[in-house]
Structure 1
Amino acid sequence: MDLTHIHLLLNHFPIVGTLIGAGVMLWGMALNQKTIKAVAAIIIVATTIMAVPVYLTGEPAEERVENVTGISESAMEEHEEAAELAISLMAAAGIASLAALLLQYRSSSRVPFGLATILTLVAFAAMARVGYLGGQIRHTELSGSQPLSQQVNSSESDDD
């Protein structure tokens, strides 16, 4: 197993983790339960930590596939640029969640968890976009670059 495999294996965690973390955070805020909000903050912080190796293995994964026939350089560049924004937003969500976790016992304000939730939802959208763009690199059937009839014909010929 190399860094490309690790990238492909782990890249789903930041997407799913932010969605779960935001959902649990909203649930905790709706019920005004400190324990649920704390669990949500821990999920988001853990997801932020998990996003780091995903981001760091992106460059080695790019180097491995950049000379493969059919791989679009522009698709890889768009994916990389989106990942740079997403990791920054994920870091902001993780820091805000950690701060909210630490501040919840000093203040009853909903602002820290509200901010953490908003940042997490924005990070989710950014991470989902990165995942979508990453899928476009290798999965040409998702890009819509060739007509559906060609996709069907090529898949039928693969079955022979």
Structure 2
Amino acid sequence: MNAAHVHLALNHFPILLPLIALILLILGLVFKNDLVKRIAYGMMMASGIFTFFMMNSGEGAEEIVEELGRNHDLIHEHEEKAETFALLSYLSAVFAAVAFWINWKRKPFSDITLYISILLCGTLLFLGQKTGSSGGEITHEEIVEK
């Protein structure tokens, strides 16, 4: 299994986990269920961890697809979007750890961290879609918008 395989296997988790976390955060808000909120925070933290591995496998994948003659501009665009996504994913993971603790300790401002987490997940989904689509354009040239 080479770096491109690893990258393709891992790249779905940092995008799907915030989606699941967002759904759980909203359910936790609606049903006032702290356990569901904490599970969502855990998923946000896991997303940050998967993002780290995804980013580290991306360099090796880049070398492989460049050797195959893929469009360097598309690769560079994907890399730039991935770096922005990764930064927000790491920050969201750290924020989720703090939000988990705040919720666990039943601090009075835990609702604020919940709303911020919902916003972070929504933003991650937006950036994840842009990043994932730009990655798909590297190997699936039929989806490139002209």
TM-score bin (small chain):
over 0.9
Q: Where in structure 1 are there 5+ consecutive unaligned residues? A: 146-160
Contact 1:83 1:130 in 2 (8 A): yes
Moved more, 30-39 or 131-140: 30-39
Structure 2 distance, partners of 1:94, 1:144, is 32
Question: Which residue identity lines up with residue 39 of structure 1 in the other structure?
Answer: I
Output the aligned Cα RMSD.
Answer: 1.2
User: Taking structure 1 as the reference length, what is the TM-score of the superposition?
Assistant: 0.85
> Which runs of structure 2 are paired with 1:11-160 in the superposition (5 Å)?
11-69=11-69, 71-104=70-103, 105-109=105-109, 110-145=111-146
Question: Which residue identity lines up with residue 138 of structure 2 in the other structure?
Answer: I
Percent identity between the aligned chains?
28
- Displacement after TM superposition at 1:44 (Å): 1.1
Moved more, 103-112 or 45-54: 103-112
Question: Which residue identity lines up with residue 17 of structure 1 in the other structure?
Answer: L
User: Taking structure 2 as the reference length, what is the TM-score of the superposition?
Assistant: 0.93
Structure 1 distance, partners of 2:45, 2:78, is 23
- SS for the counterpart of 2:67 is coil
Q: Which has the larger radius of gyration?
A: 1
Tell me how many residue pairs correspond in the alignment: 144
Which residue of structure 1 lines up, in the alignment, with residue 6 of structure 2? 6
Structure 1 distance, partners of 2:108, 2:36, is 15
Question: Which residue identity lines up with residue 133 of structure 2 in the other structure?
Answer: Y
Question: Which has the bigger relative contact order, CA under 8 A and spacing at least 6?
Answer: 2
